[in-house]
């Protein structure tokens, strides 16, 4: 009998039938004096009781500002304690949190504000060269002339309120303390009454991801998907209230928001923030000083930690578990993390934003070889299958096809984008990942490639079409195609093949300089090749795989292309 590539995860771990706010209150009541957040760079230590006070305060403040159930609240912030407060406060009042990448610039902020129809935006202060308030004023100059809470903009008809996550007075913005003060008119009974109107199937979060065509798509996730995905992740790492998780991965991403924050909260564990952004030595120091038992990261983060010149100066003996995810995990790196960083129970998680994000996971009981060479088995309560992408038929085990997932974790839709939704979610509720994989006889999965034209650079999903569309705005560019080429550090790097208009000349720096300050730094192609034409099939279709082959040879990236990954 031929086994087909279909699996269902175990049902031993029951799903939680609560809203995120209900679960948070339950944990805060159960572990009131346990540390909830330690933000090293902010000098913050809050117990779950103290975190609940701050969450309820912001929730009441947002209600006082008129935020209703289903309203979109954007958050443009690095890894600060206030991000977590906002995450749970918006959940408590049924508002939909819209995650905005701190690497975004005005071009991308404008798109998110319009596409998600954001009504309230929470903005942090300056970080390094990023002036977030300045970029917001550049995107929405009307806000500078308006009173706080009364923004009127033709470009953003939904936007009414901007909040500065600090105490500096800015035109047209509420200060953080002002929001909390306004919340004093909202009683705890009012907050409880709002909670009574919520259902765990309600949308609670919009996260941006992209496809191979068009601009980023807003993935709509629910209380049920986010809460249970985080809880199951925590169970997979054997979390308890005694665990302390070091979180260097960004909160705006599913990794930080769900795999880290939700896994910790649902178990009463401590969320430890080493810095606003990733810094290898800050992570090592934090693990040592805070006695962290778990650490999360994408492969490039673990590589940077292992290769740091001061690595041997730090004691990492408290580490036990963690997650390496976000991009293909080099086998040798996984082995080094197991041994040199004492993370003998580290696991790999695979998924995507559309699935909350996890759908497969290795376990702490899996043999090391399984944990370094596969992406594990199906999540509890998840259905997975591998299909022929042409016929849609389920393939026998051992054959490569498209990975599809179904279950509680699958998104509701792409916000305001029904056509894209229908391309990803079929009529039977299966989410088509666009990833190519294979399932073995024991039910373990392995990634073999991608159907979608996507590049994963250091855990960031980059979508060539979006970058191509941007580069088409360059006055000298006739045509452009963006591909991914292998890289030993980041897994992949971006490369643009550019055809210039007749009679025009340009340099690599000129193309890259055109991008700076307008799109996120990680979307700027590292390599640029000027070409008169592009490889095409007989039918006229662009052959990006041939571009990749040529580029690997010309750039001398053969060694990087041979790195084995899980």
What's this model's pTM, rounded to 2 decimal places? 0.87
Q: Which run of H or E residues covers position 183?
A: none
pLDDT tens-place values along the chain, 566 residues long: 789 999 999 999 999 999 999 999 999 999 999 999 999 999 999 999 999 999 999 999 999 999 999 999 999 999 999 999 999 999 999 999 999 999 999 999 999 999 999 999 999 999 999 999 999 999 999 999 999 999 999 999 999 999 999 999 999 999 999 999 999 999 999 999 999 999 999 999 999 985 444 578 999 999 999 999 999 999 999 999 999 999 999 999 999 999 999 999 999 999 999 999 999 999 999 999 999 999 999 888 998 999 899 999 999 999 999 999 987 777 788 889 999 999 999 999 999 999 999 999 999 989 878 887 899 999 999 999 999 988 999 999 999 899 999 999 999 999 999 999 999 999 999 999 998 889 999 999 998 767 767 788 888 878 787 898 899 889 999 889 899 999 999 999 999 999 999 899 999 999 999 999 999 999 999 999 999 988 976 545 688 889 999 999 999 999 988 887 66
Q: Identify any residues that bridge with 496 across adjacent strands, giving them in sequence order.
A: 482, 528
Give the domain 46-199 fold. Rossmann fold (3.40.50)
Structure token pair of residue 492: 């992949």
Bond preceding residue 357 cis, omega within 30 of 0: yes
Tokens, residue 12:
């031993």
Question: Of the candidates 81, 111, 129, 431, which has an alpha carbon nearest to the alpha carbon of residue 276?
Answer: 81
What pLDDT is attached to residue 464? 83
Report the relative pairing of strands 161-164 and 383-387 from DSSP bridges: unpaired
DSSP codes, 315-366: --TT--EEEE-SS--BHHHHHHHHHHT--TEEEEEEE-GGGSSEEEE--TTS
DSSP string, 449-499: EESS--EEETTEEE-HHHHHHHHTTSTTEEEEEEEEEEETTTEEEEEEEEE
Q: How far apart are CA 251 and CA 165, in angstroms?
A: 16
- Residue 541 has a pLDDT of 65
- In tens, the pLDDT along 531-566 reads 998 897 654 568 888 999 999 999 999 998 888 766
pLDDT, residue 414, reads 97
pLDDT at 564: 74
32 burial (CB, 10 Å; 0-12 / 13-18 / 19+) is: middle
Strands (E), 2-62: 6-8, 35-39, 44-47
At 280 the three-state DSSP class reads: helix
Altogether, the residues listed in the chain come to a count of 566
Residue linked to tokens 């082995």: 335
Strands of 407-451, DSSP E = 413-414, 431-439, 445-450
- How confident is the model at residue 537, as a pLDDT? 60
Q: Residue 351: what pLDDT?
A: 95
Secondary structure of residue 79 in the 3-state scheme: coil
**What are the Cα distances from residue 385, in Å, to 236, 389, 438?**
21, 12, 10
Assess whether the region 1-17+223-451 and the region 46-199 belong to the same CATH fold: yes
Query: Two tokens at 56?
Result: 């309820």
Contacts of the segment 464-469: beta carbons below 8 A, 24+ positions apart: 464/212, 464/494, 464/544, 465/210, 465/211, 465/212, 465/213, 465/214, 466/210, 466/214, 466/215, 466/216, 466/523, 467/494, 467/496, 467/519, 467/523, 467/525, 468/496, 469/215
Q: Are strands 477-487 and 491-500 parallel, antiparallel or unpaired?
A: antiparallel
What are the strands of the beta sheet with 294-297, ordered from one edge?
Answer: 44-47, 35-39, 270-273, 244-246, 294-297, 321-324, 345-351, 358-361, 377-378
Domain boundaries, the chain: 1-17+223-451, 46-199, 455-561
Q: Distance between terminal CA atoms of the chain?
A: 28
pLDDT at res. 538: 52
Q: What is the CATH number of domain 1-17+223-451?
A: 3.40.50.12780
Q: What angle do the packed helices 188-196 and 81-93 form, to 10 degrees?
A: 70
Question: How much is the pLDDT for 280?
Answer: 97
Quick one: residue 199, left, alpha or beta (phi over 0 = left, psi -120 to 50 = alpha)?
Answer: beta
* CATH number attached to the domain at 455-561: 3.30.300.30
**Could you report the per-residue pLDDT of 61-119, keeping only the tens digit for each?**
999 999 999 999 999 999 999 999 999 999 999 999 999 999 999 999 999 999 999 99
Structure tokens at 194: 């709002």
Confidence at residue 212, expressed as pLDDT on a 0 to 100 scale: 40
Q: How many CB atoms lie within 10 A of CB 125?
A: 17
């Amino acid at each position: 009998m031929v086994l087909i590539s279909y699996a269902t995860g175990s049902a031993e771990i029951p799903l939680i039938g609560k809203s995120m706010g209900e679960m948070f209150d339950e944990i805060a009541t159960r572990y009131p004096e346990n540390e909830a957040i330690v933000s090293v760079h902010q000098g913050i230590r809050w117990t779950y009781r103290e975190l609940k006070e701050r969450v309820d305060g912001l929730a009441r403040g947002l209600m006082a500002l008129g935020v209703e159930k289903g309203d979109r609240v954007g958050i443009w912030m690095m890894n600060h304690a206030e991000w977590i407060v906002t995450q749970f406060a918006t959940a408590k009042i049924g508002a939909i949190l819209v995650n905005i990448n701190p690497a975004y610039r005005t071009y991308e902020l404008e798109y998110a504000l319009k596409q998600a129809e954001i009504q309230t935006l929470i903005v942090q202060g300056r970080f390094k060269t990023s002036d977030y308030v300045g970029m917001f004023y550049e995107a929405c100059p009307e806000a500078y002339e308006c009173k706080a809470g009364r923004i009127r903009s033709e470009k953003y008809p939904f936007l009414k309120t901007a909040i500065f996550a600090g105490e500096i007075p800015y035109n047209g913005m509420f200060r953080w303390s002002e929001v909390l003060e306004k919340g004093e008119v909202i009683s705890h009974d009012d907050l409880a009454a709002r909670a009574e109107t919520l259902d765990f199937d309600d949308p609670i979060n919009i996260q941006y991801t992209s496809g191979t065509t068009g601009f980023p798509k807003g993935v709509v996730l629910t209380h049920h998907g986010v809460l249970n995905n985080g809880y199951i992740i925590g169970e997979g790492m054997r979390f308890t209230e005694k665990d302390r998780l070091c979180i260097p991965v960004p909160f705006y991403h599913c990794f930080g928001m769900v795999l880290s924050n939700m896994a910790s909260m649902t178990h009463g564990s401590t969320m430890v923030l080493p810095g606003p952004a990733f810094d290898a030595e800050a992570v090592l120091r934090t693990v040592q000083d805070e006695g962290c038992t778990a650490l999360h990261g994408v492969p490039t983060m673990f590589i940077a930690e292992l290769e740091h010149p001061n690595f041997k100066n730090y004691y990492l003996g408290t580490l036990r578990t963690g997650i390496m995810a976000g991009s293909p995990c080099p086998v040798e790196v996984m082995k080094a993390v197991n041994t040199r960083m004492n993370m003998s129970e580290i696991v790999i998680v695979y998924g995507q934003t559309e699935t909350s994000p996890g759908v497969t996971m290795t376990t702490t009981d899996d043999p090391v070889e399984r944990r370094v060479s596969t992406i594990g088995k199906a999540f509890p309560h998840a259905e997975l299958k591998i299909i022929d992408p042409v016929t849609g038929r389920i393939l026998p085990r051992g054959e490569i096809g498209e990975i599809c997932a179904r279950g509680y974790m699958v998104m509701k839709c792409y916000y305001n984008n029904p056509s894209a939704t229908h391309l990803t979610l079929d009529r039977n509720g299966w989410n088509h990942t666009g990833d190519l994989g294979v399932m073995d006889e024991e039910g373990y999965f392995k990634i073999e490639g991608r159907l979608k034209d996507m590049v994963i650079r250091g855990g960031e999903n980059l979508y060539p079409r979006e970058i191509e569309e941007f580069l088409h705005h360059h006055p000298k560019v006739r045509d452009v195609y963006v591909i991914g080429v292998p890289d030993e550090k980041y897994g992949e790097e971006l490369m643009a093949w550019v055809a210039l208009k007749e009679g025009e000349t340009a340099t690599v720096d000129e193309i890259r300089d055109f991008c700076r300050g307008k799109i996120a730094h990680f979307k700027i192609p590292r390599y640029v090749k000027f070409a008169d034409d592009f490889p095409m099939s007989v039918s006229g279709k662009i052959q990006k795989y041939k571009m990749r082959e040529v580029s690997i040879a010309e750039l001398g990236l053969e060694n990087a292309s041979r790195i084995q990954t899980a």
